[in-house]
Amino acid sequence: MHEVSLMESVVALVEDERRRHRFSRVQMIRLAVGTLSHAEPDALRFCFDAVTRGTIADGARLEIVMLSGEGRCSNCRQLVPMADRFAPCPVCGGAEVRMTAGGELRVEDLEVE
Residues that bind another protein (CB under 8 A): 1-2, 4-6, 8-10, 12-13, 15-19, 21-25, 27, 31, 38-39, 54-56, 85-86, 95-96, 104-113
Q: How far is the CB of 81 from another protein (least distance, A)?
A: 18
Q: How far is the CB of 39 from another protein (least distance, A)?
A: 8
Instruction: Rank residues 79 and 84 by Cβ distance to another protein and give the closer one.
Output: 84
Say how far apart CA 39 and CA 44 lie, in whole Å: 7
With H, G, I as helix, E, B as strand and everything else as coil, classify residue 58: coil
Say how far apart CA 103 and CA 62 lie, in whole Å: 19
With H, G, I as helix, E, B as strand and everything else as coil, classify residue 90: coil
Q: How far is the CB of 24 from another protein (least distance, A)?
A: 4
Say how far apart CA 33 and CA 63 lie, in whole Å: 10
